[in-house]
Chains A and B, each alone.
Chain A
Amino acid sequence: MSRSSMRIVLTVNGRPVEADIEPREVLLDFVRDRLGLTGAKRSCDMQVCGACTVLLDGLPISACCTLAYEARGREVLTIEGLTSDGRLHPLQEAFVDHAAVQCGFCTPGMILTALVLLRETPTPDAGHVKAHMNGTLCRCTGYWKIIDAVVDAGRRLRASGADR
């Protein structure tokens, strides 16, 4: 089968990236296999579970069902881009503190999905979290500790006055 390739230029975690890709290449494989950013995971492979969630221009998308080509000229944020200078984002800290992490396979997608909620609703209650994150699945926890973590992260961000 003949292969064609195309060049894309995009920003990943704040850095410019230029690459030759296959037209059929999905963004998940692009960040995992080409860039070594393996925090985003492949699970359902059909936009149901949220394990592959990354932010594209600030909005959560399923990288398993997004062509890498669609990300050309845009900004991609993966979980690896959330820590700065080795310091955890308050949302990551809250997940750690609330034992909202078990096997860890859903965690990067959960955190990035929650990040968008906190930008829209800085101090969410449990109801906000459930409504916003219903499309992100976890099979280990009962979700309660994840909800607690997100609610608490909102409080922490407000207390610190951070705007991230």
Chain B
Amino acid sequence: MKPERVVGTPMRRVDAEEKAVGAARFTGDLVVSGMLHGRVLRSPLPSARIARIDGSAAERLAGVRAVLTGRDLVDMDPYYGHAIKDRPVIAIDRVRFAGAPVAAVAADDPATADDALAAIRVEYEDLPAAATLDAALSSGAPRLHEGPLRPGLFHGLGELRREDGNICYHYHFSRGDLDTAFAGADLTVEGEYTFPAVYQYAMEPHTVIAQWGADGLTVWACCQHPYLVRAELADLFRLPLSSVRVIVPYIGGGFGSKSYTKMEPLTAALARKAGRPVRIANRVDEAMVTTRRHNMKCWMRTAATRAGEVVARQCRIWLDTGAYADNGPRVAATAGDAAPGPYRWKAAGVDAWAVYTNTPPAGSYRAFGAAHLCWIGESQIDALARKTGLDPLEFRRRNLLRPGEEVRPGGKPLDADLIGDVTKVAAAVGWGEHKPPMVGRGLSVGLLAAGANPVSTAAIRLQADGSAVVLVGTSEMGQGSRTVFTQIAADELAVPPARIRVMGTDTQFTPYDRSTGASRSTTIAGKAVQRAAADVRDQLLEIAAGAWGLPVGSLDVRAGAVWHETESLSYQDLIKRHFGMVGGELIGHGEVRPERGTGSYAEGPVFWEVCVGGAEVEVDPETGRVHVRRLASVADVGKAINPVLVEAQDEGACLQGVGNALFEEMRFEDGQLINGTLLDYRIPSMADLPDEFRSIIVENADGPGPYGAKGIGEGAQAGVPGAIVNALGDLGIDARELPLTPERLWRLMRGSR
């Protein structure tokens, strides 16, 4: 009998039915006994001193149980931040952005909490603000942070120091002799570019419940990094890790907005003061000022020979990280790594700065760094191709790195077939076919350093009836991790998927996982699950070998039993034999950790995620509107453990890429977000779909994950904007500013005529 395998099949999502009937529980759906409702009073000013704050009237309202301000944190060191500890749990004497939490209220119901917010009196004294990159970088700009820099618990960035002025972090590399390379090159293109602040819009805004009890602090949170949140809470409240419990229900979308620590410390502090459990559920307008994508300006130049060989690239990047570092330093480093693009340079140099401004903090958002840089580098590649007279696809074929070539010194060599990938998307968007008027086509290729730290652990508990519970710390936020882990565990244990249950994370019981993000879960946590299953299998084989008096090597595992030729012992029989009763369980452990060197980021990445897109667009010359006719991306996934889930991830990333390229932009004036609602900030709807779309799955088994898998889900978001920008370039429109709104494009076309 051929064993039925589910890896590689489009198995139904294990959570789909629960979600389709409305039974899936998200953090905001949970009710903890005695729970109060928290609301947050936020600063109306981007930069101010808090002269006076009076919550007494609010405290006197019936149903109000606690009002929290900075004064309540005098017994603790109230600063946190995984990269740089620069952020107070709640404003202390000063606010650095409009939207900063200034006070928080816990009340019996949300309406009472709202009433209480209105009763809090705050007097502010305006301070000068540095509300834009230019203002923050100018000489004499007001400084957001001074004094010695305090490194966070998880920066992974080498030696951190306080930089000059409002510089939060500086990332630099240079290889080869830039001056000589540019001086000797035939052709150089150069430009300045701007990229907008973008809102991730996870449909579920940040929601947290915190409860203090005899066993410490328990937090239910829609967080992507529960173990890092736990560590920061333990650090803030001076508790052992074992006394902080983070439970992650289903998450209503993340995309990076729920990376690292967000609303958890404030909710915990409020619950501590109230002496009761508290839930804080952000509204969308609050989520928008909790985290966002970095806006950026960039200068880049690229050189090539007349014969069509790339020579050198140099790039300077300024990323607006807002009032606090959040993940800005890592975004700067990743942007720097993405800037050269996957080409064979004689010289390349990058400086990337994360810059503090008096705006809401910027952090992670899908494909950060690569989404910022790919479109810029790729538009210069197209410009050079045009100067040499070569077709952009041919130009790329000549210059793209090949598998095994060095991407950055000391780092992982290229583990993907980029030439194959870009050739596939070119075909999908009709490359080389006749083009109607005002129709252009473009391609974009890039790499994203993916995987973060290769650290995940997992456990599998094989039950006495042969069913199994999988404990693994990935947060299920729509990507389908519980389904993929079910498939892996089912095949490795040789049991049907219906016998496997993958649970949500509870840090008190689920083994450690670094985080959910950086396209890492299938590759790294999935590997840990595979190894945990192998451990269970080894134990079963040992027990059977002992029972039969046979060597382990003569046995194998299939269909829920250990076999020796035609004889078998079921898992139930083996567990019963082992424990001498009907009961007990076998626990398998699996871990992934750096297998060479020190495992620092510098030697990574775990894998290179490809960012390959192709687009065919049509521009309306009268209105400047861009219509995407055809869009294609490559999901270079190594092995598609579930091809439909791969497609789903890739499709979503593409559409977010369309929004980022064409219309999404958080607009600030004097540090105030002026489109801070979903009415004013538009995300793609069904009306924005391209006429045709193809997600091309490439399976070359070249990833470090189970069965040769590697992550996807982010790359397309970085590939699509470049493809659209280059499709406009194909029409002679040189776009250097995103998003390409009709107005912006219309002006660009008038200016260029």
Contact = CB atoms under 8 A, between A and B. Distances in A.
A19 interface: no
Interface in A129-152: 129-130, 133-135, 137-145, 147
B22 A39 contact: yes
A5 interface: no
Given A46-B679, A96-B17, A96-B20, A105 B687 contact: no
B253 A140 contact: yes
Contacts of A105: 26, 203-204, 252-253
Interface size class of A (residues with CB under 8 A): 35 or more
Nearest to B250: A104
Interface in A40-70: 40-46, 48-49, 51
A43 B206 CA distance: 10
Contacts of A88: 17, 20-21
A11 to B, nearest CB: 18
Nearest to B655: A142
A139 B686 contact: no
Given A96-B17, A102-B652, A139-B202, A48 B24 contact: no
A95 B20 contact: yes
A147 B687 CA distance: 12
Given A41-B252, A134-B687, A139-B202, A80 B284 contact: no
Contact of B12 (A83, A97, A142): A97
A104 B685 contact: no
A138 B252 CA distance: 10
A46 B678 CA distance: 8
B689 A107 contact: no
B21 A92 contact: yes
A105 to B, nearest CB: 3
Interface in B102-121: 110-112, 115
A84 B125 CA distance: 60
Interface in B1-54: 10, 12-13, 15-26, 28-29
A142 B21 contact: no
A103 B203 contact: yes
A38 B651 CA distance: 28
A103 B20 contact: no
Interface in B385-439: none
Contacts of A143: 655, 685-686, 689
Chain B interface residue count: which class? Answer: 35 or more
A39 B23 contact: yes
Contacts of A49: 203, 678
A101 B15 CA distance: 9
A129 B652 CA distance: 18
Given A96-B12, A104-B250, A24 B652 contact: no
A82 interface: yes
Interface stretch (B224-232, B476-484, B526-534): B476-484
B698 to A, nearest CB: 18
A78 interface: yes
Which of A24, A42, A97, A101 gathers most chain B CB within 10 Å?
A101
Given A43-B204, A51-B203, A104 B15 contact: yes
Contacts of B201: 139
B22 A79 contact: yes
Contacts of A38: 22, 25-26, 28-29
B283 interface: yes
B656 A103 contact: no
Contacts of A99: 10, 12-13, 16, 644-645, 647-648
A104 B460 CA distance: 26
B21 A79 contact: yes
Interface string B131-161: 0000000000000000000000000000000
A133 B61 CA distance: 43
Contacts of A82: 21
B332 to A, nearest CB: 26
B253 A139 contact: yes
Given A45-B284, A48-B679, A99-B13, A80 B203 contact: no
Contacts of B251: 103
Nearest to A80: B22
Interface in A104-160: 104-108, 111, 129-130, 133-135, 137-145, 147
B552 interface: no
Given A38-B29, A43-B204, A139-B652, A22 B111 contact: yes
A93 B21 CA distance: 10
Contacts of B466: none
Given A139-B202, A144-B651, 10 more contacts: A22-B111, A46-B678, A48-B677, A99-B12, A99-B647, A102-B478, A102-B652, A139-B652, A143-B689, A147-B686
Interface of B: 10, 12-13, 15-26, 28-29, 61, 110-112, 115, 201-205, 250-253, 255, 281, 283-284, 477-480, 644-645, 647-648, 651-652, 654-656, 677-679, 683, 685-687, 689, 693
18 contacts: A39-B23, A40-B22, A43-B284, A44-B677, A44-B679, A46-B679, A48-B678, A49-B678, A99-B644, A103-B253, A139-B253, A139-B652, A139-B683, A140-B648, A142-B693, A144-B651, A145-B648, A145-B651
